[in-house]
Structure 1
Amino acid sequence: MLNTFRVLALGALFASAPLAAHDYRIETFSQGLEHPWSMAFLPDGRLLVTERVGRLRIVEADGRLDPEPVAGVPEGFIAAQAGLMEVALDPDYSDNRWLYLTHAQGSLEANNTRLIRARLVDGELQDLEVLFTAQPLKAGAAHYGGRIAFLADKTLVLTLGDGFDWREQAQNPANHLGKIVRLNRDGSVPQDNPLLGQQGAAPEIYSLGHRNVQGIFFDAEQGRLYSHEHGPRGGDELNLIEPGGNYGWPLATFGVDYTGARVSPYTELPGLVAPLLHWTPSVAPSSLMLYRGELFPDWQGDLFASTLAERSVRRIRLRDGMLAGEEVLFEELGERIRDVRSGPDGALYLLTDNPQGRVLRVLPSE
């Protein structure tokens, strides 16, 4: 698929004018959340929201926050970037009631990303199963990835981080640091994974050479898997993920280290997959989705990336398989945006990453 996705020059990407503020309105849908991280819409109209501090919350269809967190969420490691992260529904949720969560597991000296699944029954998680724990366990509290997407065959891809201090391990196929892994929904390894059977390679790996992937979305209509990842100072990337692809970190990057030192003299190298685009200086992309709702016809088929440092949502325009421009949206909020989703009503929903976090709903102007 890489050779069918054409990329415009970066100058053309910024040629389009931003969307006028009067084309949409933003309202508070729910509030009272502590550093919300991810959300998922239940078939009955309720909304599940994770809080990084370790709670799973239920927001009623009218926006009321249930005062009692969901019971049965396992205790995880909570510090700095570590905590409870993604919530996602099984593709067959209406039949099997499985939901998936990611969280940091372990201690400050030995921790990594864990994937679990459970069923939500009367405000409690039941039948909980640990499906996967990234290896090796490492020290510190940074770079966990933690986002989930489901592919056309209903296998699951999970994003992981490089642990910050172990960036060279992103190129080591023997472990999970700086990788995207692919699993069956019961945690087993699909038999067509790209590195399965290769000596010294972790069988779960789907792609490697990543820094901290916090956005992933599978476009079922086009059969494309998009992701984005945090760079250091600059070099945030949007990528089109191919099985077995090596996305370069830290051998090739547009970013520099936080000290100002150069991470690599190369922005591209043979055998490494170049990003579709990069953001330099960093915007700190935190989630990714593709809009196919009905409320905003002009946004149909476009990618949306929430950002933390820029305090915005980037609309990445796609036209006939080409990047066609970017627009910076919702800067007027002045808030770190942790998650952006398309709701069943066609509205955009945003999570603000604050101690008093909110769920915001974006609707057309009346």
Structure 2
Amino acid sequence: MRHSNARTTLPIARRPLGRALLGGGLMAAFLAPSARAERRTLRTEVGEVQVERIAQVEHPWGLAFLEGDRFLVTERNSGALRMGRRGGSLSDPLEGAPEVYRYPGPTDRSQGGMFDIALHPDFNQNRTIFLSHSRWTEQGAGTAVTRARLTEGDNPRLEDARNIFMMNNPDGSGLHFGGRLAFDPRDGSLLLSIGDRRNMNRAQDAKDHAGSIIRMTTDGKPAPGNPFLNESDKDHHIYAIGLRNVQGMAFDPESHQLWVNDHGPLRGDEIHLIRAGRNYGWPYLTGGRDYSGAPLGEGTRREGMESAFHIFERTVGPSGLVVYRGDMFPEWRGALLHGGLAARALVRTRMANGRVVGEEWMLRDLDRRIRDVRVHRDGSVWLLTEHEDGEVLRVSRG
């Protein structure tokens, strides 16, 4: 494995357990605010930014904003879903969440657990959410999606949880689940990334969900218009193939283009602009090498396959992705913001004339593995740090 799970201490105070109110008079166990400093000022190319710790969360993976100042956050290792608020409270795990599968043994042999969360496009009316996670079947483990309804009131919980999708060909590997979710703003279809399950050749099989982007309806069926719907020798859920382990996926709010970042092997992390039915080349196309240092693949171009939009020269370990279109940082508009696990940074790729023209590795002074990146409606950037003592962080204008 390339990424260490070693703990690092962020110089922002840790919160003790306490009791607090969550909007609407709801009572639960919360992490209470600390009396010590909760903010840091850090420099970036656009000037100073404020980094505020919102909550402490164990190995957080996915984040979704609710109304007002509330949010939902997943915990990978524990399989928990929690509700929090910017004021500093975090609930106990919500009841009704699906069980997740964790490969037994050392942490570095298991990347399974609870992954991403996405709100239904009509969430304000139907209160429906979607969770991606690892799931065990008699055939083995794989990436799955559960649909549930969030109910609040005196005891917030999930109800009517139902598994709507399970990848085909599950196996015994605890690695490369993918797991990122994104709703297409054009038609409301749900997209899911699935890793190659550490078996690289599976990514070239259009009948196998491993190493692909899946596109489905909110009931888990193949979405209308999928590229292989009329081909009997290909899987009807598949939208694109040839990917290694996509953990960052986002639609541009303006152009509605679909962007992903993909883990390379040893170096060679990539950015792809995803189009229906395309093959993105893994393991034939890669800018990286085998973990032994030996050459891997055939280079970065091959007929019938899509070359990477951009290959990072340094190892990022990308996870989490947004196309920034907010107002708080106008200098960042149109840039891709990537969480960096190996980089321990928020990586900004500047775009111009349809290509990447520069990178900025921001917030490295935090020395934290960044798992997810989201843009709040106020234009601030929220981050999740992947540690046992991980955090929800808010980045705002200095």
Is the shorter-chain TM-score for this pair beyond 0.5, marking a shared fold? Answer: yes
Corresponding position of 1:160: 194
Is the contact made by 1:108 and 1:140 (CA closer than 8 Å) also made in structure 2?
A: no
Residue-by-residue CA offset, 1:116-172 (whole Å, 9 max, x unaligned): 1111113211121211101101112110110111111111111000001x1101001
> Match of 2:119?
89
Alignment partner, residue 296 of structure 2 = 263
Match of 1:343 among 376, 394, 398: 376
Residue-by-residue CA offset, 1:170-190 (whole Å, 9 max, x unaligned): 001111010001001111112
Deviation at 1:45, TM superposition (A): 2.4
1:27 correspondence with 2:52: yes
Counting only pairs closer than 5 Å after superposition, residues 1-366 of structure 1 correspond to structure 2 as 19-20=44-45, 22-31=47-56, 33-53=57-77, 54-66=79-91, 68-79=92-103, 80-106=110-136, 110-122=140-152, 123-151=156-184, 152-164=186-198, 166-365=199-398
Return the alpha-carbon distance in structure 2 between the equivalents of residues 97 and 285 of structure 1.
30
Q: Match of 1:112, SS? A: strand
Amino acid at match of 1:59: G
Q: CA deviation at 1:313?
A: 1.0
Identity percentage over the alignment?
A: 39
How many Å separate the matches in 1 of 2:130 and 2:163? 10
Q: Aligned letter for 1:70?
A: L
Residue identity matched to 1:286: S
Q: Distance in 1 between matches of 2:70 and 2:211?
A: 34
Q: Which amino acid aligns with 1:317?
A: R
Shift of residue 107, structure 1, vs aligned partner:
6.8
| 4+ runs deviating over 4 angstroms | none
Q: Say if 1:301 and 1:20 are closer, same or farther in 2 by CA, change over 3 A.
A: closer
State the match for 1:11 in structure 2: none
**C-alpha distance after superposition, 1:61-86 (max 9, x if no partner):** 312112x1111111110242100000
User: Which residue identity does 1:34 align to in structure 2?
Assistant: E
- Are the aligned partners of 2:72 and 2:84 in contact in 1 as well (CA < 8 Å)? yes
Q: Give me the whole-angstrom Cα distance separating, in 2, the residues matched to 1:74 and 1:181.
A: 20
Q: Which moved more, 1:106-115 or 1:355-364?
A: 106-115
Letter in 2 for 1:55: A
Q: Which residue of 2 aligns with 1:9?
A: none
**Count of residues paired in the alignment:** 345
* Letter of the 2:304 counterpart: G
Deviations 1:43-71 (A, max 9, x none): 232110000020001112312112x1111
CA gap of 1:45–1:326, structure 2 versus 1, over 3 A, is same
Q: Is the 8 A contact 1:108 1:139 kept in 2?
A: no
SS at match of 2:350: strand
* Contact kept? 1:109, 1:140, Cα under 8 Å: no
Residues 279-304 of structure 1 show CA distances to partners (whole Å, capped at 9, x for unaligned) of 23421001100112221111122110
Is the Cα–Cα contact under 8 Å of residues 233 and 280 in structure 1 kept in the other structure?
A: no
Q: Deviations over 1:304-355 (max 9, x none)?
A: 0001001001111123544332111111111100011111222111111110
Task: Provide the secondary structure at the position in 1 that maps to 2:44.
Answer: coil
Distance 2:351 2:330 in 1: 13
Q: Name which of structure 1's ranges 324-333 and 18-27 shifts more when overlaid on structure 2.
A: 18-27
1:198 Cα deviation (Å)?
Answer: 1.1
Task: Please give the alpha-carbon distance, in whole angstroms, between the structure 2 residues aligned to 1:231 and 1:108.
Answer: 30
TM-score normalised according to structure 1 size: 0.91
CA distance in 2, matches of 1:90, 1:63: 26
Deviations 1:62-116 (A, max 9, x none): 12112x1111111110242100000111111111111110000017971000011
Distance of aligned partners of 1:21 and 1:109 in 2 relative to their CA distance in 1, 3 Å threshold: farther
Q: Deviations over 1:234-267 (max 9, x none)?
A: 1111000000010000011111111112221322
- 3-state SS of 1:324 partner: strand
The answer as to whether partners of 1:232 and 1:257 remain within 8 angstroms in 2 is yes
Deviation of the 1:22 alpha carbon: 4.4
Give the aligned residue type for 1:42: L
Partner SS state of residue 266, structure 1: coil
Compare relative contact order (CA 8 Å, sep 6+) and give the higher one, 1 or 2. Answer: 1
Paired letter, 1:267: T
